[in-house]
Structure 1
Amino acid sequence: MIYLDQAASSFPKPPEVVQAMTEAITEYGANPGRGGHALSKRADDTIRRTREQLAAFFGFDLPDRVCFTSNATSALNQAIKGFPFVEGDHVLTTSFEHNSVRRPLEYMKKTTGIVIDYVNTGESEWFDLEAFKSNITDQTKMIVITHGSNLTGKKLPLDVIGAVARQKQIPFLVDASQTAGVLPIHMKEMNIDMLAFPGHKGLLGPQGTGVLIVGEGIELTPLHHGGTGSRSELIDQPDLLPERLESGTLNTPGIAGLLAGLEAVKRMGLDTISEHEDRLVSQLINGLKKIDFVHIYGPEHDRLGVVPFTIAGIDSQEIAIILDQHYNIAVRAGLHCTPLGHESIGTIEHGTVRLSVGPYNTKEEIEKVIRAIAQIVEGYFG
């Protein structure tokens, strides 16, 4: 199988991720922070070390404000639904946001009465800062952006947007689902107030892991209430992080795997990973451009490892099925949970086929994919 669905979930995982998760299950499968015995302490130590390593990796000084969730969607829901919005508050975001941002925002619009602006930042690598800034109002209480589009691969300049947010004292929430573990992110230098990301994509960890890092001065109402392992005498949820946002037993095996994935990413190096993906994307784009009836979307240069395309007259789902069943190539077809993004690029009716690469894909695999797509076109159009 040639796996080109890395934007959905990275595969394969580093061997050390499997080893770390196996050890957690077989050697210290106790409840972290819920007991004073040796196994509980070892589990708690794994959680603590992962918080510290993630904080350091993302340029953040307060590990206790690194909060674990089940995925990036849970993290984004906590950040948006837990924020103290009131009726009339304004949120500025983009048309390329995933539904894990759009749907919580629309929920807050219905239930709280917030106002939302979805700015179309375009397909090219250029970002119109002045046009984006022109949508900021006196009522803007949050700026929410995806660092990189899961549809077109476009990157947004966190440092530039963060500087504007800080100047205007607007909380800045970043969805790093496609970029954590691929591009450098430094929360302090980029003025990021909240950072949400999954463990199972660029960080090479397992599914069922996610993180919300909450900057100082940001107070969120927890979406879940319950046992936290501390201050059990309180009727209300504890005030201190991370306990305030972490009710219930944490996913220790998953977090152990996330730590191992993070360490693998650091050993490979972000520059090495990014450069490798850039080469594969260039190879893909150059190859697909030579095939008649194929249309590629997104920036010409400086994009993530994501290449969406369509073939004139052929449904995107049909293309994905052919690639899977006849060529043993795994891709993603459809709307990719970002319908506004498809409206922006004109593909809302039929979606696109998305090819997404990762650190373990090879140029030989990419060449096979290009040949397969060329054969599909030849089979349909002769």
Structure 2
Amino acid sequence: MYLDQAASSFPKPPEVVEAMTKALTEYAANPGRSGHRMAVKANEVISQAREQLADFFGFAYPDRVCFTSNATSALNQGIKGFRFQSGDHVLTTSYEHNSVRRPLENMKEKSGIEITYFDSGVTEDFDMDAFEKEVTPQTKMIVVSHGSNLTGKITPIKEIGKLAKERGITFLVDAAQTAGVLPISMENMNIDLLAFPGHKGLLGPQGTGVLIVGKGVDLEPLQQGGTGSQSESIQQPEVYPEYLESGTLNTPGIAGLLAGLETVKRLSLEAIHRHEQLLISKLIDGLRSIDYVTIYGPSSNRLGVVPFTIEGIDGQEIAIILDQHYDIAVRAGLHCTPIGHESIGTSECGAVRISVGPYNTEEEIEQVLTALQEIVEGYFG
């Protein structure tokens, strides 16, 4: 039983496997580099993926949908590629993944920016008034995770986007946990930069990611190289998407991502989120009935993610027992978000995280609850 969906979705839809196989066996040429039919077909699939992603995320410029190797690469490009000056301020939250925190801290060390990590609390409430008070005249960027990979807490990105637009601040959203789960419209939510992976909620393969760059956002590419266009120039072409896409793209991966996106649209965001909420509600109710268990995160309005601890039992040991004795895959530790663990009070021991997806079932939730009850009984009698 796979209950580690927040790390990577599994299983993949058959359509994803079929699309990747077709790419590898029928048109595995270099897109945008040659004029023969295989290269043209590869480029057509990639262009189709750009168009569908732009439409799915409420964005009018498919050419500014830039493919990366993962969400981390997309976030690094959005943060490190931003033209910060010494003394500029970035406002973010305590629930950010290390894919946000580490690039920001690197920019602080190298470029002299200032960073505020706003603690948004452990409940579903988000204090917009307190958040707005952290904005300064030097604030040049707001970076937030749409949904916490630790607690499932959902951030009100529409309200934050409105604030950012009113203040003339660039707004970067990390949608690693919400792309393919919650509705996102860059236009309606005033999002300037949107970063997400292909292998989580969008049900695509690992090794795929996207950074959508809004009109008017000025980034510096983190790498330069072959783009298949303007080869006579010694400078990186400034036209999108080539400006941020040096080197050969992952055509089979992007074909798989496109198939995953089409599956998500067929299932519908509403149905996916409703199903995950059903499973999480059942899981939380069951965990509350087990002695020595502490659950963290909002009581409602959360993603399909639940962290918990069992008093007196190391989280890694729980995960190993679930894996080796029950064939249940979960994740224990700090989940690449150490400040988030500080916020919920688990920074010393970490937590066990169960996360669900569209293909998990109520029967699986019942089985993991039975397993955890047996673990507690085995330890405490």
TM-score scaled by length of structure 2: 1.00
Task: Give, as a single letter, the amino acid of the residue that structure 2 aligns with 1:10.
Answer: S
Alpha-carbon distance in structure 2 between the residues aligned to 1:290 and 1:314:
17
Q: Report the Cα distance in structure 2 between the residues aligned to 1:63 and 1:41, rounded to whole angstroms.
A: 18
1:263 equivalent in alignment to 2:262: yes
Q: 1:321 is matched with which residue?
A: 320
Question: Structure 1 counterpart of 2:59, which letter?
Answer: F
Partner of 1:108 in structure 2? Answer: 107
CA shift digits 1:50-102 (9 cap, x unpaired): 00000000000000000000000000000000000010000000000000000
One-letter amino acid of the counterpart of residue 256, structure 2: G
Quote the residue 2:350 is aligned against: 351
Q: Distance in 2 between matches of 1:223 and 1:239?
A: 13
Identify the residue that residue 294 of structure 2 maps to in structure 1: 295
Q: Distance in 2 between matches of 1:180 and 1:246?
A: 21
Q: Which amino acid aligns with 2:300?
A: H
> CA separation in 1, counterparts of 2:24 and 2:129?
52
User: Match of 2:158, as an amino acid?
Assistant: D
How many angstroms does 1:235 deviate by? 0.6
Q: Give the match for residue 240 of structure 2.
A: 241
The amino acid of 1:183's aligned partner reads: L
Map of 2:55 onto structure 1: 56
Unaligned runs of 5+ in 1: none
Q: In structure 1, what is the Cα distance between the partners aligned to 2:129 and 2:29?
A: 53
Q: Map residues 91-240 of structure 1 onto 2, 5 A cutoff.
A: 91-240=90-239
Residue 19 of structure 2 corresponds to residue 20 of structure 1: yes
Instruction: Give the distance between the partners of 1:186 and 1:220, measured in 2 at CA.
Output: 21
- Distance in 2, matches of 1:240 and 1:122, equals 42
User: 1:123 and 1:151 mapped to 2: Cα distance?
Assistant: 11
The structural deviation recorded for 1:172 is 0.2
Q: Whole-Å Cα distance in 2 between the matches of residues 380 and 256 of structure 1?
A: 48
Distance 2:289 2:201 in 1: 30
The equivalent residue for 1:307 is 306
What per-residue deviation string (whole Å, max 9, x for no partner) do you get for residues 171-202 of structure 1? 00000000000000000000000000000000
Letter in 1 for 2:33: R
1:216-247: CA deviations, max 9, x gaps? Answer: 00011111110000000111111111001000
Which residue pairs with 1:367 in the alignment?
366
The equivalent of 2:284 in structure 1 is 285
AA at the equivalent of 1:91: V
Q: Which runs of 5+ in 2 are unaligned?
A: none
- 1:9-61 Cα shifts (integer Å, max 9, x gaps): 00000000000000000000100000000000000000000000000000000
Q: Output the CA distance in 2 between the equivalents of 1:253 and 1:5.
A: 24
- The code of the aligned residue for 1:52 comes to E
Read off the aligned partner of 2:152 and give its amino acid letter: G
In the alignment, what sits opposite 2:78? Answer: 79
Which amino acid in structure 2 is aligned with residue 330 of structure 1?
A
| Aligned alpha-carbon RMSD (Å) | 0.3
TM-score by length of 1: 1.00
- In structure 2, distance between residues paired with 1:257 and 1:224: 25
Structure 1 counterpart SS, 2:306: strand
Cα deviation digits, residues 108-155 of structure 1 (max 9, x gap): 000000000000001100110000000000000000000000000000
Instruction: Name the SS for the 2:116 alignment partner.
Output: strand
SS of residue matched to 2:91: strand
Q: Percent identity?
A: 71
Matched AA of 2:313: I
Partner Cα separation in structure 2 for residue 370 and residue 131 of structure 1: 38
The alpha-carbon deviation at position 7 of structure 1 amounts to: 0.1
- Distance apart, 1:6 and its partner CA: 0.1
1:278: Cα distance to partner? 0.1
Shift of 1:373: 0.4
Shift of 1:378: 0.4
Q: SS of 2:8's equivalent?
A: coil
Distance 1:356 1:345 in 2: 18
- Take 1:162 and 1:19, find their aligned partners in 2: how far apart are those partners? 38
Aligned position for 1:331: 330
3-state SS of the aligned residue for 1:160? Answer: helix
